[in-house]
Amino acid sequence: MSTQQVVSPLPGTFYRRPSPESPPFKEDGDAVAVGDVIGLVEVMKNFQEVVAEVAGSAIRFVIEDSDAIMAGQLIAEIDP
Amino acid sequence: MSISSVFIANRGEIAVRINHACRKLGLRTVQAASAADLDSLAARLADAVVEVGPPPAAKSYLDVERMVAAAREAGCDAVHPGYGFLAENADFADAVVAAGMRFIGPSGDAIRLLGDKVAAREVAARAGVPVVPGSDGRIDDVARATALAAEIGFPVMIKAAAGGGGRGIRIAHDASEFARFFPQASGEARAAFGDGGLYVEKVIERARHVEVQILGDGERFVHCYERECSLQRRRQKVWEEAPAFELDQTVRQALCDSAVALAASVGYRGAGTVEYLYDAASREFYFIEVNTRIQVEHPVTEMITGVDLVEQMIRIAGGEPLALGQDDVRIHGHAIECRINAEDPARNFMPGPGTIETLSVPQGAHVRFDSLLYEGYTVPPFYDSLLGKLIVHGADRADCLDKLRHALDGLEVVGVPTTVPLHRALAVDADVRQGRIDTRFLEPWLEQHFKPSNSTPGAAS
């Protein structure tokens, strides 16, 4: 299987952690299971979870915590 | 006035509103804009625009150093903070002044004092403003707590002193419940916060939210009467009115006088709002908090009094003495404001940014529409969902509701979901028209009229 891409379902602000004081949902290199929360997208103060739809041995984020994001923009890649 | 150029440290409809007030006073405006707001209506209206960072507010509108530096570099001599963002950030107010500019609002010290819930309650109590009867701090002894609860009168709320988020809260309806709940609440508070300390407060069961608009120049203080903001969803105001309905004249006088007494006791400078819970059954009101900024719902007060609150706060910050005496402020008729949010009431208020394809705004002497909208504008996803406010004035409340219904029919926003259908349904609702509402009215009403499964939202009313 090839590397899978995770894209944002919505435009907004992307967060890698549940709150500013918390550790990230996933670090670069972490394994990922189907259904794992990998981040949040804030749309007009409304928070939507971004959930992994595939499992993988390692995740690699391509955007930073609290970056602006467009719908369809790449968030992370997951290695099989 | 010692102000000639105003930096608008906010965005959205309030930035537009501040721009208009400055224009009226002949002041130059410089609009702060994140990278996502360079094409906003406020940015188009201002004399100059300064980009203050990337779209997320934490990196732009909430960045104190950056905002102060931008205001200075733009050559402004005053900063208007609007509401939200840095409006009630005491350090921001101090930093603006330290940089040699006027902060259009109270002093950092006043913001700090009144922004602290416990300190503000003490200020209110000292000024003779009724506060919700309670233990005034933590109470750990069950016997003393039980005696106090009986004295306050049931039901009472038992809250964790260290608390927040509803953890450890119990409502006791009589002494036996109280004796049972007090140790439970203490245990839960200890588990949640590592501190079993509790405090006890009277429950105001059918409370309405009323608030008094105040203005002060540090020496003279007036009120501009009250607003009724009981229609709330998740503690967010949805629809506001002025004046409060069916408020006895003696109650109104006592309420408004208490807000002025509070303002005077701290030498308040600027526009502010004292919020209260009002128990219509007992005709008692209780202090909640002070907001040291202009509020979203300020237009309803402007509509009934004719006082331009944003202009007043700029004049006060500019060093002018308050030109209004209390006798100059009178209530004329009734006003209602509907908050138009980019949210779909039929889909559990899911927000929806997007591009405005069509915008039709109702016209008329009794109608005002404060908004950030223009046709072709793309509402960004990064900020709150408030698009604007429809404000209608009538000879009395019934007339105002009739005019509101027509105004809502004439408001068309195509391209994003809006809360207009909610307001259309509220404007014809029998309970709303009769004024049979309190702060717990709207959520169950929404369950009934705007359930996500309901295929024809609002049709039931």
pLDDT in tens for each of the 80 residues of chain A?
Answer: 689 999 998 899 999 999 888 899 999 999 999 999 999 999 998 899 999 999 999 999 999 999 999 989 999 999 99
Distance between B452 CA and the closest CA of chain A, angstroms:
17
- Cβ atoms of residues A38 and A14 within 8 Å: no
Whether the upstream peptide bond of residue B243 has omega within 30° of 0, thus cis, is yes
Closest C-alpha among B379, B364, B292 to residue B110 = B292
| Domains observed in chain A | 4-79 (2.40.50.100)
Using the structure block, give the residue that is written with the tokens 């959520």.
B443
CA torsion B415→B418→B423→B426, rounded to 10°? 120
Using the structure block, give the residue that is written with the tokens 């972490």.
A30
List B28, B102, B112, B293, catalytic entry:
B293
Whether the upstream peptide bond of residue B457 has omega within 30° of 0, thus cis, is no
Cα B394 from Cα B392, distance rounded (Å): 7
Question: What is B142-202's CATH superfamily?
Answer: ATP-grasp fold, A domain (3.30.1490.20)
Q: How far is CA A37 from CA A34, A52, B341, B356, in A?
A: 9, 6, 29, 33
Q: For residue B348, give the chain A residue with the closest CA.
A: A46
Count interface pairs A-B at CB distance under 8 A: 40
Q: Do domains B5-104 and B142-202 have the same CATH topology?
A: no
Strand partners, B32: B50
Cα B174 from Cα B179, distance rounded (Å): 9
B315 counts as catalytic: no
Domain definitions of chain B by residue range:
5-104, 142-202, 207-449
Given B36, B54, B342, which is nearest A44 (Cβ)?
B342
Strand partners, B14: none
Q: How far is CA B148 from CA B123, B176, B434, in A?
A: 22, 14, 37
pLDDT in tens for each of the 461 residues of chain B?
Answer: 899 999 999 999 999 999 999 999 999 999 999 999 999 999 999 999 999 999 999 999 999 999 999 999 999 999 999 999 999 999 999 999 999 999 999 999 999 999 887 789 899 999 999 999 988 778 888 889 999 999 999 999 998 877 655 566 789 999 999 999 998 888 888 877 778 888 898 988 889 999 999 999 999 999 999 999 999 998 899 999 999 999 999 999 999 999 999 999 999 999 999 999 999 989 999 999 999 999 999 999 999 999 999 999 999 999 999 999 999 999 999 999 999 999 999 999 999 999 999 999 999 999 999 999 999 999 999 999 999 999 999 999 999 999 999 999 999 999 999 999 999 999 999 999 999 999 999 999 999 998 765 444 444 33
B351 phi/psi in degrees, rounded to 5: -75, 150
The reply to whether B191 touches chain A by the CB within 8 Å rule is: no
Q: Does domain B5-104 have CATH number 3.90.1150.10?
A: no
- Put simply, the answer to whether B385 touches A66 (Cβ < 8 Å) is no
Residues in CB range of B73: below 8 A, 6 or more apart = B50
The reply to whether A48 touches chain B by the CB within 8 Å rule is: no
Question: What is B207-449's CATH superfamily?
Answer: ATP-grasp fold, B domain (3.30.470.20)
B334 phi/psi in degrees, rounded to 5: -140, 145
Distance between A48 CA and the closest CA of chain B, angstroms:
11
- Put simply, the answer to whether A43 touches B384 (Cβ < 8 Å) is no
